[in-house]
């Protein structure tokens, strides 16, 4: 058994323990107003981090390329209250145009 399989089994055990401990938390702890406020903000923070990492990095380096244009167009469309499909399509099209021009 090499290091890869040991790491795989170890992370599987850790994931199981985390999931099991999450189900074991008493309901009165989860219904606390502070916990509910924090839980409402976690998806926003995770999505923001994902967008940042995917927009500004390429493997291990910081980059500025066509993805920035797509992100700027998506933010602008969101500020203008555009429907979600329009936001995604406009960001993809603008990013593709900049990619093909440069």
pLDDT band with cut points at 50, 70 and 90 for residue 97: very high
- Tens of pLDDT, residue by residue over 12-51, are 999 999 999 988 888 888 899 999 999 999 999 999 999 9
SS3 57: strand
Mean pLDDT along residues 4-14: 96
Average predicted confidence (pLDDT) for the chain: 94
What's the mean pLDDT in 79-100?
97
Q: Does pLDDT of 11 surpass 90?
A: yes
Burial state string for 40-54 with b = 16 or more CB within 10 A and e = fewer than 16: eeeeeeeeeeeeeee
């Amino acid at each position: 058994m090499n290091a890869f399989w040991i790491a795989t089994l170890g992370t599987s055990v850790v994931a199981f323990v985390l999931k099991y401990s999450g189900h074991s938390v008493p309901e009165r702890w989860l219904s606390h107003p502070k916990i509910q406020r924090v839980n409402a903000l976690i998806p926003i923070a995770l999505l923001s981090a994902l967008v940042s990492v995917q927009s500004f990095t390429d493997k291990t380096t910081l980059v500025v390329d066509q993805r920035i244009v797509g992100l700027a167009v998506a933010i602008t469309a969101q500020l203008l209250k555009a429907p979600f499909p329009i936001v995604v399509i406009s960001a993809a099209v603008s990013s593709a145009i900049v990619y093909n021009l440069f």
